[in-house]
Structure 1
């Protein structure tokens, strides 16, 4: 078919118009996924305003189940911020917001939708937020070099980022237009109106390492100035570059309150000594009583400082003024809360073009006010970072600290020494701090073998819980004398130098926090040793010794050494032994975790066998034999013991009401066995009903019991580690009433695990957020709960990993001031999602297999024992026969 010219032209125009339509659509493509829309990193001195705002720009509601939000440090390491369990079943509506906020700290007027743990904090500098979907795919990421304290970090319509126009940001509302050019203060009564700024055009010479860009409020700050110089000195204004890049100052200006303009030029460096730029004799005059200094790039305000009695409408937040010959300086280079009163102080130490030092001439000697670089004191290598507390148990903004130590033999003035972290924040040690209400002090002198502690409330250095660096700079040095790097911190533990005289220095975490005192390295917990025995304590009878009640909080591999008081020993956790003579014997069990060795001793009274002739055996034949526990062997009766029924008035009560009785009362209750003796301990087990209760017998005199048995128990009320227990005397204090159904666990949230749920059989589901030693911690979105694995439960912890979602069934146990869930067996750990198959019992073997293996092992050990015993008797008989033949 032949096409006419008109037809061809029509087709061409149609295609061309389609191209332009497509091009326009492509240029204006809209985001089709959830975005991180706004981030608030707090305000000065608190995490009260920390939040992350998500926004759904799509036309459909989105379920966030399985999603996570993580924080990324400057090193690139990621740590959880909002776990998947906290986002379970959370829906973010189409064109709607979801507000995530610091738990227990956020106090904004807009209610948060999802909290994150209070100890997880965001840094003002060099951090990022990463959003993952339920397939662990990165959906969005927001990072920043520095967010102004008190302001939020907002996404713009163009997809770039900016500081919010007003303090506090705009949670769950449209973002502002940004804080690019804040309005100048109204003219004061003592100054003329600022003239319109029409700077003369300047010629900019591009440099290879510079790019002319529009900078933001606070990128460069007025760092120090002298309005009333000493004789033969001049007024000056010092500015400081907070960015890690060179900045071309062509087109920049400084104004005073009268409107006098000083034109800037050249480059202010992003590192080294040239981060400071001094402008001497600026145009106009800086009034001694008060004035205004403004730094601008073109028409954009980059920084401004009102000091003294300058009337800017908010005179209460003005910086102080200074008289001859003092300076007005930021309390730390670049320190900026956008409150001049908070940021500046008067200093007798003028550090023109160098790091600020705040000192008071009235309280300082000449040596203290001179330039820090000339301090002629001890060797700078004698000052070391000695202890760091990144994550205190209390308020981080108050109790975080960095401790310095003088390991030399001369005192050193720390004035002018600088501390920093992996961000650009720096803190110069000075004579006045918030802790002493601005009053000068003399304790910047650190004596030999003494300590100096700098708290976060003074330094404003926020150490990241997920890992950070702490740097120590000598005065006037851009190179740190020491850098200490630590990985993920644990709440309540400090990072300590093991030996301050060693080279190189080595570090360890410790649970003993010692600010201003010698370090105490203690983190490895000593094992808690306990043991017992069962069987008739009679000559010639088998005694079953049991060390399974020994616990180690760190989950270390333990070694055992038994001494039976006869010279015989064993290294088995649960040996068997026979005594061949009556008497009292001191039995000891020594347990070591590789660092701590703990010994426990008890007396066993061995009685003569009734109606039996004494057996004479060589003492060399008194040998411990490796062995195992035998079921049912604990049913022996102890002479002299009486039932609880005969010891005082016995009161029938319920599991719910027994807590109201006084300790020492005798009570009788009924309940269903939830865990058998020998699982958590050989000396106690648990029954449940409306509530729960621990049943205890120090001699392990229990009848044969199974989970699900309904029993009655009579005994004396007592308490151990804060937990109520009913203490029985003899096995007959426990009577089986019926075989009931297996007790069902009750569902609780993590935050409900505590006083009201202790001794109950519970079930908690959540995400594994930490794993250490014999414990893991579950976060279900409402809080965290500790799960502790007892040795007797024989649970394989290797298959459980951080990030797994599991359900745990167990007994709530109290240990002093903390509560934890004790699962009874592998069947109590159910994988919901993670490295194992969903619904899988982690590490489980079949019950029949486990039973057969256990029984075979017990039979084997008993056969070994009988063989050794028979061998010994054969040797003795052979000796007797040989003597008779002679």
Structure 2
């Protein structure tokens, strides 16, 4: 009885202990979608080595593919039922982006195959990976060679020559075996080899009645492109519309069984003799194809034997007389086609771009204004062809200035402001609205956190704690804002990089000038900057301006910045939030206080004298591990925005000095250093530790029980217990 109890106890301990450990640390493999498994390579042996047969499968997915429930089957060229090569009734995985190999038993050891059976392969066979029952299960992938057409995708590949395996090219899958595989009888080039037929035809097109809707997702082949279309010619459309194809490959591309589709019109099919020779164009006129290109925009596509378009093109409303042309021989994105003034039917494209309207670059004034004058700066606006620009500023529909930058007197009330720029032919316009208010005679309380940060006074009240003592810099002076009379001047500025392009805005970054006491924006409208690192010392040349009270240097060329040194340090001013004033605009400061709130990319820090919004354009504060009540320090450029003061701080310049204390713990430990963070207990982790300990104990008890059963101590067991065994 004792040994029987030990057996039960041992088995139970091992079973439940193993189950606990598996539940805690076991990995669950997700089965990939069926379309991710491909037949990658097949070998059918050769004379003298007839049993060197193997099939290599490949998994396109980033997750392991489970073969359980699948079967590898074959058919002969006359066969109508499946012959099982291997069926999987238990888990067997093709690794993520990896291979799994079946081989004949005689070749399995040498090949180090994953699985083997006695089946063989031969010429004129078909092969398929099927999910489910033989003959009727879903085909995952199929391959036919020689004269086998039972299980083939579109057209079979030829029988391989001796010593050659059938290999898939770059794991591509166009559902055409003749294009996806090589076997020693066709070119090993990655260019798709066209399939020819002997059907004679005197026309390059034959009509059809099928209507096909173009699929949005298209696959661009290696060498054939839609190089140019003319939807809206000057004069009559019928005799002047055309579609032009180009073959940039080294081989002729035969268009047998291909069809051309425009919108949902009846497609036209290329005949067996239709060919685009290597490096040549094929011009397809509307008169020839009867395909109409819509002047208001449309879609066109070239299809092969499958449902997905080989190449396709969407175009917008067509300007009269212009053609939509590819700017290179390998277009992939929408930007690789342009409307062009120079039609070149059947010839190499000549790109002459039409005039484009100038573009306004302007930040509208703040919605509410208290100053009696506004400084307007539209000098960042530009013309794509670098044509001279004419400026016109209008206030309440009256022209007030015709220069790039102007000083505008404003009266109380609501106003509309417009900037219109023109290159003499085309124009651009931007409209802004703002309200001029009468300044209040009551002096604002600088300790009011709402006045400082621009936050609503109804914001949830957070208990203030005394701020860490801060020594304010005595070297602080009035911000060196460029005077309006000195804007639009050429300037070469040297300074140290404080942040990187994209952290505050994609078109600019800040530097601290060598001779100054306020940060400068370095601005480039096309976002082209050298590779920079915070702390780089640079020299930049451009034109001065002021935007939202900040100094800006507008670069005129892409190479206007020179990096002169690295790893330079700028010491920030230590600041008290409640003392921030107009003269602090653009200063590089450090603040210290408690985290009072988080919203999006903004952290609200309160130092006891006021609250300041700390902004980082790269890191969402809600996803940062900072907890409300933590003591933080933040360093960055101080900016005045429409919603109040903000500190532009990089993620690396945000430092957590202490974590909030748990109230119960704090009450029992009266004095704890502010640099120590007391974290609450993690109940889930604690439970996992107890389960782990229980599992280990059960395994130890189970192992000891089995060991005891085989030890000499069994001799001490009573006869009664032996009989019960």
TM-score, scaled relative to structure 1:
0.22
Q: Normalising to structure 2: TM-score of the pair?
A: 0.26
